[in-house]
């Protein structure tokens, strides 16, 4: 399995990793997905972004396979909708529903280890 974030997303989009004309656009959309994951509380405390194919998934989250796999799918879906949206509205709606479900599931996974009290109390 490909560890490079950019290359793995490109493969999922059906792009050959060596074909680079769309890299800037794909990178922008990947970083948008990482921004949303940061807002969900997932990833490094300082945020995360990539600029080329050298960053790997372990640079984003190291260790928790369950949340890493959920984040991989989330990033791919987000990039797919932005980069190559489906032509039919019901497929687009289904993909958006999947994104919402992944956002919820990723948030729940994060809360199992990094729960923060809404009142700010240390628990």
Q: Reply yes or no on whether the pLDDT at 2 is more than 70.
A: no
Q: Reply yes or no on whether the pLDDT at 41 is more than 80.
A: yes
Query: What count of residues does the chain have?
Result: 123
Structural domain includes residue 23: yes
Q: Reply yes or no on whether the pLDDT at 116 is more than 70.
A: no
Tokens for 13, please give them.
């989009």
Overall average pLDDT of the 40-44 stretch: 90
pTM of the shown model: 0.88
Structural domain includes residue 119: no
Structural domain includes residue 106: yes
Residue 53 to residues 13, 17, 42, 97, 101: CA-CA distances in angstroms? 15, 9, 21, 29, 28
Structural domain includes residue 122: no
pLDDT at 64: 77
Structural domain includes residue 120: no
Overall average pLDDT of the 63-77 stretch: 91
Structural domain includes residue 47: yes
With a CB cutoff of 8 Å and minimum separation 6, the contacts of 27 are 6, 50, 51, 52
Q: Reply yes or no on whether the pLDDT at 88 is more than 90.
A: yes
More confident residue, 63 or 90: 90
Give the total number of structural domains in the chain.
Answer: 1
Confidence of residue 121 (pLDDT cuts 50, 70, 90): low
Structural domain includes residue 109: yes
pLDDT at 113: 73
**Residue range(s) defining the domain that contains residue 99:** 5-114
Structural domain includes residue 81: yes
């Amino acid at each position: 399995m490909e560890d490079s974030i950019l290359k793995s997303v490109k493969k999922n989009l059906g792009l050959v990793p060596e074909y680079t004309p769309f890299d800037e656009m794909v990178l922008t959309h990947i970083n948008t997905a990482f921004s949303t994951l940061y807002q969900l509380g997932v990833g490094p405390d300082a945020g995360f972004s990539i600029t080329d194919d050298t960053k790997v998934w372990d640079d984003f989250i190291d260790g928790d396979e369950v949340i890493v796999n959920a984040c991989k799918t989330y990033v791919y879906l987000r990039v797919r909708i932005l980069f190559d949206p489906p032509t039919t509205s019901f497929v687009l709606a289904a993909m958006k529903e999947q994104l919402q479900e992944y956002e919820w599931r990723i948030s729940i996974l994060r809360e199992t280890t990094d729960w923060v009290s809404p009142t700010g109390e240390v628990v």
